[in-house]
Chain A
């Protein structure tokens, strides 16, 4: 297992291959700032939930360096932030279930968004785990079975301004 590039995005910082990237915004607005800087012409971004925006933008920055064959992500809270947003559309006395929100009530949608953007027709998988380190054996076992490199790592969002992505481009050797 070998990591060729990695990115970490928190509500306050972006670190690519160990180097801090200058940003002015924080939280959810940081993701929009990164979208404007690195993409700008993919309006579907604005339809995405925060988890998908986070994974999408982290992937965007990494995959500009190197394309991948598969996307294997994990987190602890699944799609909880967007699940709560969807719940607000089905409260008693205010029942207007939103299909636009419901579609994001699965954490693997972020892997689908990345696959669509980068035309990745290899494997996409999402795991919900107790700890970040629990993803390592799964990625190790996956690399024995799918072509590399893969985009792998942690993609977590528990609220609109509480998130953490730690994504890597990982090779089998």
Chain B
């Protein structure tokens, strides 16, 4: 297992994990209707920063706070930077990752996890494996995506976007909202009071590249894996993906039922942050840590390419 030493969220709802948590508890949402944000695209509802953000700068700012809280020396040889993003800095993924590591004086090659919407959970699983294999002592996991005409037009071509605030798991759900955010967690081999990442699993549906398995096969296998060694009654919260698309939520419901977790309270955060893509798995994990405070929770995600991922976290 690996230990959480520090975390941070920057989103349109505020700067800092605590501020974002307070905003959500107060019922504030970052979602707004945009009618002429990008040329040609149809009106869409999204959570977007008021001021345009520089990708690298945003990642650096969020990591800076998490690293300061963790109190680690980011220049050390036993620290690795792991970036979770889908489109990076205007389609470039590795150059910004190198710029971020360089900013902190870290000489190791950074890793970009590009596993579609599951990337933020997969990045934490990668951190766990690298740390447990003894290759690194600390991992700075950063999740970030900035919304562009490229992404919005693509999701609209899929008819996946709603022009209203999304309604995960509602009968009248009409599609997803995109979002921008930068979240960071410092994971470590160093024992520390607080949250530990105990288990992680990634499975493919082997069914379709853009639609989920109707029986939630990949996600069910992830849940089955991370449930090993714990009682279902001890799971206090399920951080679902909850994109509010017709197929995602139906698939998740089936996977949750197959795993016997239908009585566990769920947290679906996209009505507050939108679907922050590469940031989602990191941001929503931090939010679940704050929502639950102690106990055990599972964070799960699914994405294009038929990939699914889940992690189990515990705080005594």
Contact = CB atoms under 8 A, between A and B. Distances in A.
A145 B39 CA distance: 46
A138 B130 contact: yes
A113 B304 CA distance: 11
A120 B154 contact: no
Contacts of B40: 90, 92, 95
A141 B80 CA distance: 14
B267 interface: no
A76 interface: yes
A108 B109 contact: no
Given A90-B40, A90-B153, A130-B94, A115 B204 contact: yes
Nearest to A110: B305
B153 A121 contact: no
B150 A90 contact: yes
A112 B114 contact: no
Contacts of A76: 94
Nearest to A52: B209
B154 A112 contact: no
A87 B40 CA distance: 13
Most buried by B among A106, A108, A129, A144: A108
A97 B157 contact: yes
A121 B39 contact: no
Contact of A144 (B91, B94, B129): B129
A105 B132 contact: no
A128 B92 CA distance: 10
A146 to B, nearest CB: 8
Contacts of B129: 138, 141-142, 144-145
B305 A124 contact: yes
Interface string B95-127: 001100000000001111111100000100010
A: interface residue count bin: 35 or more
Contacts, number: 153
A108 B115 contact: yes
Query: B interface, by DSSP: helix, strand, loop or mixed?
Result: mixed
B135 interface: yes
A66 interface: no
A144 B202 contact: no
Contacts of B94: 76, 78, 128-130
A134 B109 contact: yes
B221 interface: yes
Contact of B115 (A80, A120, A125): A125
B149 interface: yes
Given A102-B157, A108-B116, A119-B206, A130 B110 contact: yes
B: interface residue count bin: 35 or more
A125 B126 CA distance: 10
A102 B122 CA distance: 22
Query: A interface, by DSSP: helix, strand, loop or mixed?
Result: mixed
B150 A86 contact: yes
B209 A131 contact: no
B306 A141 contact: no
Most buried by A among B153, B203, B204, B217: B204
A149 B240 CA distance: 31
B197 to A, nearest CB: 13
Contact of A102 (B116, B154, B217, B307): B154
B120 to A, nearest CB: 13
Interface string A98-137: 1100110111110111011011111111111111001001
Contacts of A118: 206
B304 A137 contact: no
Interface of B: 39-40, 86-88, 91, 93-94, 97-98, 109-116, 122, 126, 129-130, 132-133, 135, 149-150, 153-158, 201-210, 217-218, 221, 304-307
Given A97-B154, A112-B305, A112-B307, 10 more contacts: A71-B204, A80-B91, A83-B150, A95-B39, A99-B157, A102-B157, A125-B115, A128-B94, A128-B113, A137-B135
Interface of A: 71, 76, 78, 80, 83, 86-87, 90, 92, 95, 97-99, 102-103, 105-109, 111-113, 115-116, 118-131, 134, 137-138, 140-142, 144-145
17 contacts: A90-B149, A92-B40, A95-B153, A99-B158, A106-B305, A109-B209, A116-B206, A120-B204, A121-B206, A121-B218, A121-B221, A122-B203, A124-B305, A127-B114, A137-B135, A141-B132, A142-B129
